[in-house]
Amino acid sequence: KEESIALITAKAKSLFRDDKTKTNVIGMTKLNIMEITRKKNKENFFNLITEECIHCSGSGRSISKIYIFIKIEGIIKNIKYNTSSEAVILNVGCILYNKIIKSCMDIITEIEKKYDIKIFIEQ
């Protein structure tokens, strides 16, 4: 019986070795149930769309450059394919305006080139 349990446990460990989700094969319980734990290592959505705030030394979060890029590109793509506009004025709040002007103008330029549309940022 001990030998069979060891074989089953070893086989389970080998099957989960290449699994993308971190898997821990613990072994058999007293009720002869295989005990296995799994933990996803993916970063949560909140962390993907935010980054540490530079103003409060990392104790808070602000919108990330990636999220800004995704949102602005979506807006511009929609405008480009549904209108004949050659330019767009994006009205944003002062915090987002400062973030875009200070660290996201490369993103704006990239989107302008991709969709052949001029983007103006205003607050």
Annotated domain spans of the chain: 2-39, 64-122
Beta carbons within 8 Å of 63's beta carbon, 6+ residues apart: 49, 50, 51, 96, 99
In this prediction, residues 25-35 reach a mean pLDDT of 89
Q: What is the pTM of this model?
A: 0.56
The pLDDT value recorded for residue 42 is 67
Token pair belonging to 67: 């999220």
Angle at 58 between CA 55 and CA 64, to 5 degrees: 80
For all residues of the chain together, what is the average pLDDT? 86
Read off the pLDDT band of 46 (50, 70, 90). confident
Continuous segment of H or E residues that includes residue 63 = strand 61-63
Summarize pLDDT for 57-103 with one digit per residue, the tens: 666 777 888 888 898 999 999 999 999 999 999 998 888 888 888 88
Residue of higher predicted confidence among 29 and 1: 29
The label of the residue with tokens 């080998």 reads 14
Chain-centroid distance of CA 45 in Å reads: 5
